[in-house]
Structure 1
Amino acid sequence: MPRALSTTNSRLLATVIAAVAILFVVGPSEATNASSAALRPALQDVVGGLRNPVFVTAAPGGSGGRLYIVEQAGRIRIADGSSLLPQPFLDFRQQVRSAGLQGMFSLAFDPRFEDNHRFFVNYVGRDGNIHIASFRTRRGIAIPRSHRNVLTVTTIHRDPFTHYGGALVFGPDGRLYASFGDSGEGSSSQSQSTLLGKLVRIDVAHSSKVPVVVAYGLRNPWRFSFDRATGVIYVGDAGGNLREEVNRLPKKLRGKANFGWDIYEGNIRRSPVPDGLPGVLIKPFVVYRHQPKRCNSVIGGYVYRGSEVPSLRGRYVYGDLCGGIWSIKLRYGKAVERRREPIDPPGLLASFGEGIDGELFVVSFDGHVYRLT
């Protein structure tokens, strides 16, 4: 989860966030084509009235106008067009610890949701550990008693501001992928005895559900996504005191990739590379520098494959918690141009979301969800 979320910590946020400007130091050239400004995206307010929203998605086969929005405290709301329905899709707040960076993080619908009515969530439980759980629905609403714990990842430090991760995404292979933070212990990201600091894959279609490590060396991978055209994974990983980064993971490197934390932070080596390191060290796709006394926390996004915003087609869109949305032009798997988009949500940026049709949404801590148009 990004560094500062809960409304109960608003005073802390006010002291931490002094400005929202970000200085990039590593990566592709910056585009400054003023003539294309008229073609740039805008933000359309979709729905408001939410409490600390952290994620938005749509259900397979569902109406294009219906969205499911995760609130940090453990409640999932339904937006039908511009209306927020009074009945929650799921209210699991009694089982979720939501102080600081804790809470419910993400929602993933089973690809066969129309048939099996199953979906998955990840959250920090009352025990302070990270849980992935499944639920079933009836008549469009979750059945609380259908709750099944799929996976528990034991954390090390359970204070509200440690690193939990994390996103849930079904891949093109029909398996569930999940990202986990290092729980405030950097060495866990390189350890083969824990799932902390990893990107993992779970075959939820079979009873074994044994997680497989897809990538090592992550610190706090709040959001990741699959490019729906190529299957490549992009991971936004929040750094420590120096760098923020986005990592790119093609299929051929899954299970072999090591993104470097806590040996590297972005492009900076923090300690010697030890013998026996798991996987192969992979350089970041994009890196940017922290600014002193400013909030910096990367929010991973999506490669845009929609049709409403032609200027974004095929570009990777991402942002930062405290201000700024950028897009990256891709060429043969490389970032060749970075462009600051002239859009910022009024509040802190919590997450991006992708609709069934490939259109993108922006989730803001001002309690609103916006659509890129």
Structure 2
Amino acid sequence: MTAGPPPVPRRRPVPPGRAPHGAALRSRPGVALSLAVILAAVLAAVVGDPRAARALPANFQEKEVFKGLTAPTAVRFSPDGRVFVAEKSGIVKEFDSLTDTTGRVYADLRPQVFNGWDRGLLGLALHPNFPADPRIYVIYTYNGQMGGTFPRWPSADGTNDQCPDPPGANNQGCVVAGRISVLSPEDKAQGALADRADTGPVTEKVLLEDWCQQFSSHSVGTLAFGRDGKLFAGGGDGASFQYADYGQKNNACGDPPKAAGTALTAPTGEGGALRAQDRRTPADPTTLDGTIIRIDPDTGKAAAGNPTTTGDENAKRIVAYGLRNPFRFTVRPGTDEVWLGDVGYTTWEEIDRIPAPTAEVRNFGWPCYENAGRTPGYDGANLNVCENLYKAGASAMIQPRFAYKHSDKVVAGETCGTGSSSISGTAFYAGSLYPAQYKGALFFADYARKCVWAMKPGADGLPDKTRIETFAPDAGGIVDLQAGPNGDLYGADILGGRIVHFVYNGVNNPPVATIKSDVTSGPVPLDVELDGSASTDADGNLPLAYAWDLDGDGDYDDATGATASTTFTGKGRHTVGLKVTDAKGASDTATQVITAGSSPPVARIDVPDATAAWKVGDTIAFAGGATDPEDGALTGTALNWQIIMHHCPSNCHTHTVTGQSGATGSFVAPDHEYPSWLELRLTATDADGLSDTKSVELHPRTSTVKLVSSPAGIPLTLLETSKAAPFTGTVITGSDVSVSAPTKTQLVGRTLYEFAGWSDGKASAHNITVGDDVTLTATYRPKTDLALKKAAKASSVEKAGLEAAKAVDGSATTRWSSKKADPQWLQVDLGQARQVGGVVLRWEAAYAKDYKIQTSADGTTWTTRATRTGGDGGADWLAFTPATARYVRVYGTKRATAYGYSLYAFEVYDR
């Protein structure tokens, strides 16, 4: 998903979530692209408003209210007209109104905020009584461990924080925490924040610190107040987005059953993504990872009325858990309901509903489930936490209100992409200006697909998954949706560096003003030819009237007509404006900055070039520079580098790893799921704000991982692919990947097998670091039939030669057959008490339709361990909770034919 870079492309940050997404900037190998050249060509052709390309519903328009921001992550509106915007680096900006194009810094939290990969200042909320109560709440990735000092992982430039390797962002992980803080004017006696300039700086009070986060994604996210004034907050699982993470990488957060720094193993590990199920493992302190919490905004403690009143303080804070990354959520107006978007893993995105946060604590199933299905990587690792949840059944977890598959369209026939997906914004419409059909609709955005949808209400007034409309295709990098003045919808576009307003214009859409300029910079005197004839009106209310502001005084009184020309004789940045009015009197404006007396620099990347292939862990050195016609050679902070990971399973998404300044530097190639590649981007900016960007693609070496089972056909798991072996997967060379083999009994053909070991000698579930191509074999051995040639007897025998012993003699051609009546049974004496956990029944044509498997210690008192109804003959494998027994029997209650019950084999196994 892409939106163009900000007007002065200083950074290209990414939103948090499973994978912040952006479309790839592609070039031929060995060719560096100049964004300045590309942008100059675009500007010369069409300089105006990106709304021209957006196909919103009739009479809607998208308008930019603020632009030139650096990675905005959240926007909030004060009743007194002021607007607050959070930027990912840790800056909160304050605007006096929606027409204030300048704004100012309200708070600078960059020293304590970790800004790298998907981490940063991600959430913002104003106190419900703002501005009378001037407190502003922020939630961010804290650049330190819980209770530790900051910055643990410092930056060279104060903005782009570095995770050195080792430990590596996606290797051992740079461990950080999450924070909720309260920002207030230092002198509260002065009242509202409008007086801030006279009252001194803003103070920060830490309200809550938790959310241990080992890896680069799934940090904290949203803050929102309920109608009762209590504060909701959400946080991700802090785990690896690359493989099934149960704490096997260093157990950095100190989860059971081992100490911090000691790798956990399956099936007992409770770390990594399993922290999202921490509330189900009360033997250790509860963490907040993968939860929604409800707290007192004054103290940070659990809010009054929460469903849990015992246990540790975190357990009492939680109102929902089992979430991967509930990055964005919203409270449905007039209710207590929380509607959240949970960023998905490999297959699904979810919208979940908490109808009554004070009534019960809800478990949404992650990482054991994604949507309604088991998650292959975590299921394959046979983890106790998940296995226990599976045994509890579907009722133990809450199904999503709506889920959409990464490979599918949300709305049939829409232009929004598929593949990479990341739900990234939720907001209800409760205003009065939009058409009635949107009243009560839930709007949600997907950053990867660049789209916004409206889930309109059904007959019960709740958002209805059968009434979803594509609202804003090609919406850009929206990572926050928020209701603003009059209830209108606003969005924070992190890629475009802007805040947008979705405006409804009633029966007449204003025109869209567009400026073409033959030049945007150059030496003085600078002659400029301007053309507004590309302006359009969706309603066809022609002719359009044109008025130009050529002297930058804000008055459109310097020229009329579709074209205009002017000459700038003085050095500086000059803003020209165009006002276009349709035949019904509706108007729109566009502006263009012309820099006279200056020309843009020319950037260059000297090393590396695009022919160099990398592997995970390689140190990649880079060098470059820029020459400016006026300033000469640019150095230092005039040269800004970005390292961007492009992940392209179909449509691409991006992770901005970090940034650096200066002519030279280096970084360590990070681990990531394949297919991915790195972009190294250099932006050179001269003293007049003109810039040039060069970009080089760096593609990785790849290796194959082949998983083989002996015997063939047993399902093995590589990352999130689980299928019958043998099969092969491709990974980036040097990647760390998870593999697992089932420890449960496997039926292959007529034989039951149990896991014996991997060819590398490691546990059934483990990680491997892939160098060259590798083949791993999981070996299984036949299980021991405890009933083989043991004493057997039956309720009846049809005739001689078909006695009970024939079912346990090991022959595939002999059989026991009963008389033609119900019920009938066959039992075997194991000779001594043994652990029994399953049986195999190999039926002849006369089979049982309904039957039970029972065990006994004495052959007299029987306990039913498994029941089968609707049997279809052939071979049945029935597993059950292991129990100690000497006698095992099959008890048939309903025959499938007119004949008796007939078994070629009755086999008994320990599990």
The structure 2 residue matched to 1:103, chosen from 98, 116, 120, is 120
The 8 Å contact of residues 62 and 501 in structure 2, kept in 1 or not, is answered as yes
The structure 1 residue matched to 2:434, chosen from 306, 309, 329, is 309
Question: Counterparts of 2:104 and 2:370 in 1: how far apart (Å)?
Answer: 43
SS in 2 for 1:190: helix
Question: Counterparts of 1:262 and 1:203 in 2: how far apart (Å)?
Answer: 29
Question: Counterparts of 1:86 and 1:314 in 2: how far apart (Å)?
Answer: 32
**1:372 offset after TM fit, Å?**
1.4
SS in 2 for 1:191: helix
The structure 2 residue matched to 1:7, chosen from 3, 8, 12, is 12
CA distance 1:312–1:99, shift in 2 (3 Å): same
The 8 Å contact of residues 484 and 490 in structure 2, kept in 1 or not, is answered as yes
**1:46 offset after TM fit, Å?**
1.1
Tell me what 1:349 maps to: 478
* TM norm structure 1: 0.83
Tell me what 1:197 maps to: 290
**1:179 offset after TM fit, Å?**
0.2
Question: Counterparts of 1:228 and 1:17 in 2: how far apart (Å)?
Answer: 41
The 8 Å contact of residues 118 and 135 in structure 1, kept in 2 or not, is answered as yes
Tell me what 1:167 maps to: 222
SS in 2 for 1:84: coil
Superimposed CA distance per residue, residues 70-101 of structure 1 (whole angstroms, 9 cap, x where no aligned partner): 10001111232232334212111122111011
Equivalent AA in structure 2 for residue 74 of structure 1? G
Tell me what 1:213 maps to: 318
CA distance 1:308–1:99, shift in 2 (3 Å): same
**1:156 offset after TM fit, Å?**
3.9
Q: Does 1:68 align with 2:84?
A: yes
CA distance 1:133–1:308, shift in 2 (3 Å): same
Tell me what 2:58 maps to: 38
Quick one: higher RCO (CA 8 Å, sep 6+), 1 or 2? 1
* TM norm structure 2: 0.35
Question: Counterparts of 2:24 and 2:474 in 1: how far apart (Å)?
Answer: 19
The range that moved more, 248-257 or 225-234, is 248-257
Q: Does 1:372 align with 2:502?
A: yes
Q: Does 1:263 align with 2:279?
A: no
Question: Counterparts of 2:184 and 2:421 in 1: how far apart (Å)?
Answer: 37
Question: Counterparts of 2:351 and 2:130 in 1: how far apart (Å)?
Answer: 30
**5+ unaligned residues in a row in structure 1: which ranges?**
19-35
Equivalent AA in structure 2 for residue 367 of structure 1? G
Question: Counterparts of 1:17 and 1:186 in 2: how far apart (Å)?
Answer: 32
Which structure has the larger Rg over C-alpha atoms?
Answer: 2
Q: Does 1:324 align with 2:458?
A: no
Q: Does 1:92 align with 2:109?
A: yes
Superimposed CA distance per residue, residues 80-134 of structure 1 (whole angstroms, 9 cap, x where no aligned partner): 2232334212111122111011100111111123333112101112212101111
Pairwise mapping of residues 21-32 of structure 1 onto structure 2 (< 5 A)? none
SS in 1 for 2:444: strand
**1:344 offset after TM fit, Å?**
3.2
Question: Counterparts of 1:229 and 1:204 in 2: how far apart (Å)?
Answer: 20
CA RMSD of aligned residues (A): 2.9
**1:37 offset after TM fit, Å?**
4.5
Superimposed CA distance per residue, residues 159-204 of structure 1 (whole angstroms, 9 cap, x where no aligned partner): 4x22113100111111111001001122111112111100001112
Equivalent AA in structure 2 for residue 82 of structure 1? T
CA distance 1:77–1:186, shift in 2 (3 Å): same
**1:302 offset after TM fit, Å?**
1.3
**5+ unaligned residues in a row in structure 2: which ranges?**
6-10, 27-55, 145-175, 188-192, 240-271, 280-285, 303-312, 380-386, 409-417, 504-911
The 8 Å contact of residues 407 and 419 in structure 2, kept in 1 or not, is answered as yes
The 8 Å contact of residues 50 and 367 in structure 1, kept in 2 or not, is answered as yes
Tell me what 1:47 maps to: 66
The 8 Å contact of residues 14 and 71 in structure 2, kept in 1 or not, is answered as no
Question: Counterparts of 1:316 and 1:9 in 2: how far apart (Å)?
Answer: 24
The 8 Å contact of residues 257 and 280 in structure 1, kept in 2 or not, is answered as no
**1:291 offset after TM fit, Å?**
3.4
Tell me what 1:284 maps to: 400
Tell me what 1:297 maps to: 422
The 8 Å contact of residues 328 and 341 in structure 2, kept in 1 or not, is answered as yes
The 8 Å contact of residues 425 and 479 in structure 2, kept in 1 or not, is answered as no
Tell me what 1:147 maps to: 204
Question: Counterparts of 2:121 and 2:294 in 1: how far apart (Å)?
Answer: 19
**1:231 offset after TM fit, Å?**
2.9
Question: Counterparts of 1:100 and 1:252 in 2: how far apart (Å)?
Answer: 32
Aligned residues: 343
Question: Counterparts of 1:57 and 1:8 in 2: how far apart (Å)?
Answer: 20
Tell me what 1:337 maps to: 467
Equivalent AA in structure 2 for residue 188 of structure 1? R
